[in-house]
Amino acid sequence: QSALTQPASVSGSPGQSIAISCTGTSSDVGGHNFVSWYQHHPGKAPKLMIYDVSNRPSGISNRFSGSKSGNTASLTISGLQAEDEADYHCSSYTSGNTPYVFGTGTKVTVL
């Protein structure tokens, strides 16, 4: 099972909006509404930010939003803040030879 494709890095200035893409296939992202996103500050525990494509867990800022079109899911961070600087990983349920697949990861830099 190949990893989902994410851009290696995305950057933006404080207050701006950025979007991170997560591209898979019809066997994973495109075939199921089971895409989730994780924020990971190195050395700390990853944190669930979005589940089932577009839902936010309790306590997650509404500056974070998720969507999907075809085989590509996206995480949008609006009103970018310094604390948003982290690595972001998408994941999806898959009907391939392994039930779950992660993305290649994206480093978000706040300029």
Partner 1 sequence: QVQLVESGGGVVLPGRSLRLSCATSGFRFFDFAMHWVRQRPGKGLEWVAVVSYDGGQKYYTPSVQGRFIISRDNSENTVSLHMSSLSIDDTALYYCAAARSNSWHNFDYWGQGALVTVSS
52: contact with partner 1 by CB under 8 A: yes
List CB contacts of 110: < 8 A, sequence separation 6 or more: 11, 12, 13, 14, 80, 81, 82, 84, 85
Which residue number, 52 or 83, has a Cβ lying nearer to partner 1? 52
Question: Interaction with partner 1 in 59-88: which residues (CB under 8 A)?
Answer: none
Which range, of 11-19, 48-56, 60-68, 77-85, touches partner 1 by CB under 8 A?
A: 48-56
Compute the distance between CA of residue 17 and CA of residue 78 in angstroms, rounded to an integer: 4
105: contact with partner 1 by CB under 8 A: yes
Which range, of 12-20, 37-45, 65-73, 74-82, touches partner 1 by CB under 8 A?
A: 37-45
Q: Is 25 in a helix, a strand, or coil?
A: coil
